[in-house]
Amino acid sequence: MAKTFSASDVASHNKPTDLYLIVDEDVYDLSKFQEEHPGGKKILQRVAGKDASKQFWKYHNDKLPEERVADVPIGANADHSLQAILKKYKPQLQVGSLDTKAQPAAPPSPPATPPPQKKEKAEPVPEAGTASVVPTQDVEEEEAMDAYGSMIPYADPSWYQSYHTPYFNQTHAALRDEVRQWMEDEIMPNVTEWDEAKKVPDSVYKAMGEKGYLAGLLGVHNYPTHLTDARVKSVPPEKWDLFHEMLLTDELSRSGSGGFVWNVIGGFGIGCPPVVKHGKPALVKRILPEILSGDKRICLAITEPDAGSDVANLTCEAKLTEDGKHYIVNGEKKWITNGIWCDYFTVAVRTSDKGMNGISVLLIERSHGGVSTRRMDCQGVWSSGTTYITFEDTKVPVENLIGKENQGFKVIMTNFNHERIGIIIQCIRFSRVCYEESVKYANKRRTFGQKLINHQVIRMKLAHMARQIEASYSWLESLIFQCQKMNDTEAMLKLGGAIAGLKAQSTVTFEFCAREASQIFGGLSYSRGGQGAKVERLYRDVRAYAIPGGSEEIMLDLSIRQAMRVHKALGMKL
């Protein structure tokens, strides 16, 4: 049973050796913790025995008390980004509550504006003179229109905030709830620690498998029930679509850490799809179940010390043995996400000297021997395990060839669309995180007698962030819809240019938002940890998005070249 204190009980614990204080009507014993308090012990001693709620919320990452909706259940318009510090420290520091504190009770009343909408199906109304309106989505599912999350405008996609959507329905809303709950409870409080430690616990990756998330992130149109027993709790496999995949990546990205996201989906999301789509059935059957359950890890190894965006120039060679049963692989791969932890490597190799027509893809297993991996120190994405790999006389059975010999370029190019879309989703959410953190901070921090939000120059920064985020997100939704309607080859040809263009758009947006958020946070985003932690970290992660998967320069050029080529074939008239 939690202990109950009167305010005067707490007031008697007002010495450095016996230091209690109150935050939001809960009582904390900080006698020991004060020594390790990052803000120092003196500041705590000054409020010993007192209600320090106001000071607490001022110095830690949160909203002002009057703007908070405390302890509301997920899905009931809660802002789940709240209270990471309290959530983490409560179990060890809270000794009870004030006798005035109301018992946890009924869900809170809805916010004044805008009111949460009833989940009503939007009925299309024919315009005068037209025969009928053709619905653009599965009419069986209700549109998702409930008010969800912080409701800070533009901090979440508009369909989270009671606006109409042609793409997302109640199955997406259910997944959103499931993932957000997990992120809030298990992930968010630890992300900074994991990033600093440059490692996410293995149990988190395992949970990604058990929750069915890995299986849902393959970029295939149907949930692969034939390869795994794992199921996503909130979405029946037959309902799974690319918008679920998009949403899952989006919600994971609320962590505000490229390191975290790449740790759990970086290697898998780009290394596994080529095997599933182009691997021999026996190979897929043998290795996929353990990968999808989170027991084994896989990554993609294309980039080399001397070949990045110009894939056709790679030199890591694979020579067929005389008996035709194995390839002997020799060469180096650089900047490989997750490599140090991986059992399997989807590797682009040179099997002939004919440029892009001499590239093949092999699934190399660490157990084949001759595989060395070492961690690389990088500017950002610290917990993603960026790796340098060497293959020395690695003997790979021909059964592990992915696709056909010398036709690996197409496998790689098809895969790039999936990789780039992943990058786009992450960049847009990271931009939102920068924006959301900025809005919250601007409503709390005062300078020159005003809250930051009351300075026009700050609102201007927020406006420029929001317009880029929303434009990018709308383009993303429309491209996901196109992917959903096309097969892989058609998507590679028709959407490759636009996806490349949006990749550049989203990384430029991310860079802009990280910079502007950093200016708004000032010194707090220059030091690591604390209130500016997400912004500081994301600022360091920017280049990890703007360069790999095709640099901005290559992407922009491709966006026009590819589109012109395809539209010529489609009958473009100049």
Rg (the chain; Cα; Å): 26
114 preceded by cis ω (within 30°)?
Answer: yes
Closest CA to 234 of 309, 193, 181, 312: 181
Question: In angstroms, rounded to a whole number, what is the distance separating the alpha carbons of residues 349 and 478?
Answer: 34
Calpha distance 15→142 (Å, rounded): 58
CB of 532 to ligand HEM, least distance (A): 8
Contact 349, 399 (CB under 8 A): no
Name the residue nearer to ligand HEM (CB basis): 23 or 272.
23
Is 19 among the residues that bind ligand HEM (CB under 6 A)?
A: no
- What is the closest distance, in whole angstroms, from the C-beta atom of residue 43 to ligand HEM in the complex? 5
User: How many H helices and E strands in the chain?
Assistant: 17, 15
| Number of amino acids touching ligand HEM (CB under 6 A) | 23
Binding flag, residue 531, ligand HEM (CB under 6 A) = yes
Element spanning 416, H or E: helix 408-442
Instruction: By CB under 6 A, tell whether 43 contacts ligand HEM.
Output: yes
Q: ∠ CA(220), CA(119), CA(132), 5° rounding?
A: 75
Per CB under 6 A, 93 contacts ligand HEM: yes
Q: Which of 47, 144, 424, 480 is in the footprint of ligand HEM by CB under 6 A?
A: 47
Q: How far apart, in whole angstroms, are the C-alpha atoms of residue 63 and residue 439? A: 10
59-88 footprint of ligand HEM as x/- string (CB under 6 A): xxx-----------------------x---
Instruction: Choose between 389 and 524: whose C-beta lies nearer to ligand HEM.
Output: 524
Type of residue at 457? V
Give the strand pairing for 26-29 and 18-23: antiparallel
Q: CB 182 → ligand HEM: shortest distance, Å?
A: 21
Consecutive H or E run containing 489: helix 488-521
Query: Interacting stretch for ligand HEM, rule CB under 6 A, among 223-231, 256-264, 456-464, 522-530?
Result: 522-530
What residue is closest to ligand HEM based on CB? 39
**Shortest distance (Å) from residue 309 CB to ligand HEM:** 38
Alpha-helical segments (H) within 100-169: none
- Closest separation between CB of residue 524 and ligand HEM, Å? 6
Positions 171 through 210 that interact with ligand HEM (CB under 6 A)? none
Interface with ligand HEM, residue 22, by CB under 6 A: no
State CA 49 to chain mean position distance.
Answer: 41
**Does residue number 522 form part of the binding site for ligand HEM (CB under 6 A)?**
no
446 touching ligand HEM, by CB under 6 A: no
Chain residues in the site for ligand HEM (CB under 6 A): 21, 23, 28, 30, 37-39, 43-44, 47, 52, 55-56, 59-61, 85, 89, 93, 524, 529-531
